[in-house]
Chains A and B, each alone.
Chain A
Amino acid sequence: MARLDAERRELAATVVVYGPPKAGKTTILHCIRDRVTPERRGGFAPFGSDAGVAPLLDWLPLDLGTIAGWHARVDLYAIPDQRHADATRRLILADADGVLFAADSQAARLGDNVAALASLRDNLDDHDGRPRDVPVVFLYTKADLPGELLLGEIAMNRSLNPQHHPVFSCSALRGEGVLEALHAVIMLLMRHLAPVREKGA
């Protein structure tokens, strides 16, 4: 849930990266981290010290700087894939102000995408069990794989995105499209947080 501290003029929001297993959720976080200047990344917790093992990146705080006198930050969480992490998933989503849905572009993964989207809807209830209206942006990953493996954006939209949420295609390896999608979801959630203000309010 977005947090506003009027005294310190601080604003913090949470974006959750959701999607089926192996759709590239942590890759997306790595990609964002690598492209943001280090001083904006926020001091994030040290990861496990096993040398040679790539740390599992699941939380990335971003400092957006001062906006209209507000110090704004966004916490990015990648939802865990593990079956046993159901409670964790629900809790992370309970605080989500926006969702970046990573859908795997491979035709063979369409069923996984649909299942993940259904579980997102199930988990997006508020603390009292009512469904919450949270801005969602789609990110179709692995767009750089050979075309014969992919489903194509139109077919993907038909199955996953009949509501016409914003869509971005990305090649996770090269990272194209990821920042644009993040930009879009942050703009949407901020607009959502402060429903277009009355003039001068």
Chain B
Amino acid sequence: MALAGLGHYPSVADAHDLLARIRADQGDDAAAIAAWHAALECDPAHVGARKGLAFVAFRARDFTTAERQLELAAMHAPHDATVMVALDRVRSVQPGAVAEDVPRLTDPASGLLLYDMQGMRLAGGVGDDGDETLADAVAAEGAGLTREAARLTRLLGLGRTRHFLVETADARIAMIPVADDAALLLHRGAAIPIGRLLALAGRAAQAADEWLERMR
């Protein structure tokens, strides 16, 4: 049936994805991989195809490929919990891998900062030493940054901000809006892969959302 459907709509990424999953179920990994690549050609942001490629790679014990595919998926869907869980799983079985903890909001030296749209720090910090003055200053600037991003997406008709990344010579910083009136910044060194930074920030945003819910 999927084959028939594909005959009608060969360009629909979902049809390729469906075909790939059937092939994977049948144990035909090579055909599944080809179909998922076809899906990605139709839609490079297809998260299902990325997850599928990660799955067959994981099954083949190719943890590096599995992790890379999941990081790419996280880049397009930073709020997708299933991607985060899968990433954790891959990293936990990867030989020699150091599982990176999700930074905790309660730790002022975590490089994770939660602030409201008035520029007030709600939790976390950015410096290594938990410098509160520095964190407050960054919260104030962060709110301006979040508003500026929202203004750009509003005036250009791009919808709501999902995430914002800044790279400098020495750092990579991710900003994700949390709820309607807060945002978080995750600050890491320049060596962190972007996918991992976004995955971490995405999970931190989820945790921050729950934390804000509890506070209210």
> Is chain B in direct contact with chain A in the complex (CB below 8 A)?
no
A-side residues, CB < 8 A to B, are none
